[in-house]
């Protein structure tokens, strides 16, 4: 009986951890393990033309980051979540505001998940 309680407790801790993991996603990405992200043979992110639907939650011009609530990012193996991403260039930051619907392409650029394409959704 004691063993069953230990197994149940361990399962509960693992289940809670699975839901708590994305909590860090809206902040700094420095602790994120990028090793599981899909890469091409030359080390760059696998390139596909598909764009992912997202909603802008925050634009931080000082850090060059855009926080997105996004759908699955298939090309980098990321499930839907809310997370801050580095913008490829400052022009992206100027064209969007919190609350807007966009379509994005995120790629792993030198170990940093980066928005490489951003267009307003029509």
Yes or no: say if 21 and 31 are a contact pair by the CB < 8 Å rule: no
Q: What is the pLDDT of residues 63-97, one digit of tens each?
A: 999 999 999 999 999 999 999 999 999 999 999 99
Question: Is domain 25-120 in CATH 2.60.120.10, yes or no?
Answer: no
pLDDT above 80: residue 23 = no
Q: Please, what's the b/e burial string for 79-90 (b: 16 or more CB within 10 A of its CB; e: otherwise)?
A: eebbbbbbbbee
Binning pLDDT at 50, 70 and 90, where does residue 122 land?
Answer: confident
CA 108 to chain centre: 10
Domain boundaries, the chain: 25-120
Residue 30, CA distances (Å) to 7, 83, 86, 112 in order: 33, 12, 12, 9
């Amino acid at each position: 009986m004691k063993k069953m309680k230990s197994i149940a407790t361990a399962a509960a801790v693992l289940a809670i951890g699975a839901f708590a993991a994305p909590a860090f996603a809206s902040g700094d990405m420095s602790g994120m393990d990028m090793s599981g992200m899909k890469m091409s043979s030359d080390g760059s992110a696998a390139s596909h033309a598909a764009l992912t639907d997202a909603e802008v939650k925050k634009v931080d011009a000082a850090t060059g980051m855009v926080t997105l609530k996004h759908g699955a990012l298939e090309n980098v193996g990321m499930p839907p979540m809310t997370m801050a991403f580095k913008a490829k260039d400052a022009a992206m930051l100027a064209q969007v505001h919190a609350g807007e619907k966009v379509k994005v392409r995120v790629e792993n650029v030198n170990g940093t998940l980066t928005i490489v394409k951003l267009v307003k959704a029509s």
